[in-house]
Chain A
Amino acid sequence: AQSVTQLGSHVSVSEGALVLLRCNYSSSVPPYLFWYVQYPNQGLQLLLKYTTGATLVKGINGFEAEFKKSETSFHLTKPSAHMSDAAEYFCAVTSSGGSNYKLTFGKGTLLTVNP
């Protein structure tokens, strides 16, 4: 069985500050990991994904995440927050031998950016 834990349901940062959203996963097989973003009144949009290869993956809007197997983590970072980054962020996991319908989402982290 797979699971995702997002630490902190709400993170608040100042504009220009580092953004760090935490995600830990549990999977009995090699995971595929994803971050999705949901802007107000919109559906989810894929930010970035890790399947195999390089453990540091870059996504849209300046976000990146690093897969750390030893820590079972896939934290999302951005060096400098912008007001437009305010949204809810979801970490998700599926397995290399699985299917899309097995995508398991975390509960989400609401990011607030203060001017």
Chain B
Amino acid sequence: DSGVTQTPKHLITATGQRVTLRCSPRSGDLSVYWYQQSLDQGLQFLIQYYNGEERAKGNILERFSAQQFPDLHSELNLSSLELGDSALYFCASSVWGGNTGELFFGEGSRLTVL
């Protein structure tokens, strides 16, 4: 158990809909990262938050947004969903935003768009 909690574990929805994925980081971790994992693209970094502030952006679509709340949990919002958004979405956390490379991953939220 990494200590990172993600909900929901599975989600099935239709094209055009909007969903929210939730992540609670490990106790004490200030940084939260969102990754998308798909068969064709592999693991793609989406966005990082550090102590409530956006720290870095990766390959995140404009239809997607995220935030980190004062209690440090984070939400990833995916809107106007397309079939290609079907993937496993991981949240990871670390103590700070440095370069130790040690990220603690949740078990992921599997999104299926029909």
Contacts and interface: CB of A to CB of B under 8 A. Distances in A.
Interface size class, chain B: 20 to 34
A32 B97 CA distance: 15
Nearest to A38: B105
A82 interface: no
B74 interface: no
B98 A46 contact: no
A43 B48 contact: no
A114 B42 CA distance: 25
Contacts of A10: none
Contact of B99 (A32, A41, A107): A32
Contacts of A101: 33, 45, 48, 55-56, 58, 97
Contacts of A45: 2, 105
A34 B98 CA distance: 15
B1 to A, nearest CB: 10
A95 B105 contact: no
A67 interface: no
Given A34-B102, A97-B99, A101-B56, 7 more contacts: A43-B4, A94-B101, A99-B55, A100-B94, A101-B48, A102-B99, A106-B42
14 contacts: A32-B101, A43-B2, A46-B101, A51-B100, A94-B99, A97-B99, A99-B55, A100-B48, A100-B97, A100-B98, A101-B33, A101-B58, A105-B42, A107-B42
Interface of A: 32, 34, 41-46, 49, 51, 90, 92, 94-103, 105-108
Interface of B: 2, 4, 31, 33, 42-43, 45, 48, 55-56, 58, 90, 92, 94, 97-103, 105-108
